[in-house]
Amino acid sequence: SDVQIVLTTLGASIAGTYSVAARMGNFYPLIIITLNSLFASRLRLQNTISANFIKKSLFLLFAILFLMLLCAWQAPLIIKLLFGAKAAGAGLIYRYLTLAYLPLMAATLPIAILVFFYGKTKLVGMLGVIQVIIMLTGSFTLTPNFREIGPIIALGVANSIVLLFSCVKVIRLWKSE
């Protein structure tokens, strides 16, 4: 994982700071899983994807993305409040980690549409494999040069690729109908 890469590459002190931010960042995948469950329950019941469903889903997503941006903006304060002044160094890392999760959060709707409406499970599975490969190779190659931000850059790139490909595929499927 990214914490182990930071530990072996940069040492225990930096890994400790990074792990505080990473622990806070673990909250975002939980939100993503919850959103996917919500979207899945709605998409399974529909023969078509209604404009109302898209509007409500986009509103929810934009609200969450806005809250994430607020968290990124206030990251140093959030870290200091939750973990104390000694962990203040994790604030900037948490900010960047939050920004790296934005594309993945935004991809929840197109991914849910691909899986639960179009049945494109293999495509989404391949996106996941590509995402992991980018994250691992990016973490190993970027950490020596970019230090604790290296794994976050890899995460952001991987998540952005997932967002891009899932949106392009959904648009192509809609146009082909």
Contacts of 161 (CB under 8 A, 6+ apart): 127, 130, 131, 134
- pLDDT tens string 76-127: 999 999 999 999 999 999 999 999 999 999 999 999 999 999 999 999 999 9
Q: Is 14 helix (H, G, I), strand (E, B) or coil?
A: helix
DSSP 8-state class, residue 48: S
Percent of the chain with pLDDT over 90: 84
Q: What is the mean pLDDT of the chain?
A: 94
pTM (predicted TM-score): 0.92
Burial of 31 (0-12, 13-18, 19+ CB in 10 A): middle
User: How far is residue 112 from each of residues 38, 46, 155, measured CA to CA in Å?
Assistant: 9, 13, 20
User: Which amino acid does the sequence have at 1?
Assistant: S
Percent of the chain with pLDDT over 70: 100
Asked whether 105 and 61 are in contact (CB, 8 A), the reply is yes
Is the pLDDT at 1 greater than 90, yes or no?
A: no
How many C-beta atoms lie closer than 10 Å to residue 11's C-beta?
A: 10
